[in-house]
Amino acid sequence: MEAPRMNVESFNLDHRTVQAPYVRVADQKTLPAGDVITKYDVRFTQPNKGHLEMPAVHSLEHLFAEHSRNHSTAVLDFSPMGCQTGFYLMLQGDPAYDDVLELIEATLGDILDANEVPAANEVQCGWGANHSLSGAQDAARAFLAERTSWNVVTA
């Protein structure tokens, strides 16, 4: 018996069949005025097998959000998944998949070169002490090491 279709796209994804790390289009919406928003599932770790620690997740969020905008004006948001296995990257428009991969690769390279986590303080962040630059860089390094397989979602 098949489970009923759910409203949230990722709830319809069989997380047992995916092979992280990967980047996939998770959703695309056309707004009433015609603007298009494309959401990417940027999966760092294998669901239900591994996860990123919260200080690393938090720092990746800050670093990616800040540095990705140096590479693209289409970046709307970079949000962590509650399961701590990846992020949702939301872009304006319908960019070519290879361009999205280049954006991610360039931004992760910036993260490896970073000396600090932007806005990791009490003034600019709701939990400024909960960061790990080294954790973010380790996750970025591991993700980049698998660059040739980012387009493979399932084994």
Buried b / exposed e over 80-112, threshold 16 CB at 10 Å, is bbeebbbbbbbbeeebeeeebeebbeebbebbe
pLDDT in tens, 68-113: 999 999 999 999 999 999 999 999 999 999 999 999 999 999 999 9
Sequence ranges of the domains in the chain = 17-148
Look-up: residue for tokens 């980012």? 150
* Chosen CATH of 17-148 out of 3.40.920.10, 3.40.309.10, 3.40.190.10, 3.30.1360.80: 3.30.1360.80
What integer pLDDT is reported at residue 1 of this predicted model?
65
Reported pTM: 0.95
Our CA dihedral for 28, 31, 34, 38, rounded to 10 degrees, sits at: -20
What integer pLDDT is reported at residue 92 of this predicted model?
98
The rounded distance, in Å, linking the Cα atoms of 145 and 44 is 11
Burial class of 62 by CB neighbour count within 10 A (0 to 12, 13 to 18, 19+): buried
| Cβ neighbours of 2 (radius 10 Å) | 4
